[in-house]
Amino acid sequence: MFLKEFYTYRPKGAILLVAFIIVFVFLNIKWGAVAFPINVYGMYSGKYPLQDTQWVYKIKTGESFVDFTSLSMAERDKLQYSLDFYGKYKSNNVIVFNTMKRVLSTLIIGKLMEEEKYTPVADSIQYARWFNHLLSDILNKEIHSCLIYTQSYVWQMNQLNPVATPQKKYQFVSEP
């Protein structure tokens, strides 16, 4: 047996491997915070109901909307997730900071955690410049202003149908 042979050859190594497996299994059972490289490798294990409302971004530059279908998978993801991140990063970072600080406060580490390092806020002008630059790179043309809408879709009658009217979410304007 591999572990027995390993133990005979190098006991410390074998114990380390077994300890790793135990922690890996424990953190997976615990189902909460993780500690890289020990992670929950779910690979789409969550539930994804077909009936869920899907929110889709529509990006307007000038008079036209960006055609997401003409973009590569990486470009599409970059636009979509950048907007997702922008929408949630502030509240997410505050929640994570408070949780981790509380958990780690039993150790010295918690006391060393400074809020400003964990929850910096991007300047909205800076973000607008960054996003317009990203968009310019992807569309291969200069963009200094864009409007972001979100449109809800639902799966009905065997197809993806838009519901309600698109809602304006952000306007990014940057200097030329």
Partner 1 sequence: MLSFGWYFYYGLTLSKVNPVLFVNRLDFTRNILMLTNLQGMLLKYFWLRVSFDVIYCLLPILLAFAVLKEKYYTKWVVVVTILYNMCYGIFMASFTYISLDLYIAWFYVPFVFYPNTAKGYYFSFHSIRIVFLLIFFTAGIWKIRTGAIFNTDQMSGILLLQHKQYLAGNPSNWFSQLVYFLVQHSYYSYVLYLLGTIAELAFIIGFFTKKYDKWLMVAFLLFFIADYFLMRINYSNWMVFAGLLYFSQLKKEKYEI
Ranges within 89-148 binding partner 1 (CB under 8 A): 89, 92-93, 96-97, 99-100, 104, 109, 112-113, 117-118, 120-123, 126-127, 130, 133, 137
Q: How far is the CB of 114 from partner 1 (least distance, A)?
A: 8
Tokens linked to 96: 């994570």
- The residue behind tokens 């039993």 is 106
- The residue behind tokens 């993806």 is 160
Residue among 11, 52, 156, 173 that touches partner 1 (CB under 8 A): 52
Cβ neighbour number for residue 44 with a 10 Å cutoff: 6
Across the beta sheet with 159-173, what order do the strands follow? Answer: 64-65, 54-61, 145-156, 159-173
Q: Report d(CA 66, CA 12) in Å as an integer.
A: 57
| C-beta of 156 vs 171, nearer to partner 1 | 156
Residue among 4, 44, 140, 164 that touches partner 1 (CB under 8 A): 44
Tokens linked to 159: 């197809």
Q: How far is the CB of 26 from partner 1 (least distance, A)?
A: 12
Residue among 12, 158, 164, 176 that touches partner 1 (CB under 8 A): 158
Asked if 20 touches partner 1 (CB under 8 A), the answer is: yes
Asked if 88 touches partner 1 (CB under 8 A), the answer is: yes
CB 144 within 8 A of CB 174: yes
DSSP conformation class of 170: E
Residue among 19, 30, 62, 77 that touches partner 1 (CB under 8 A): 77
Q: How far is the CB of 176 from partner 1 (least distance, A)?
A: 19
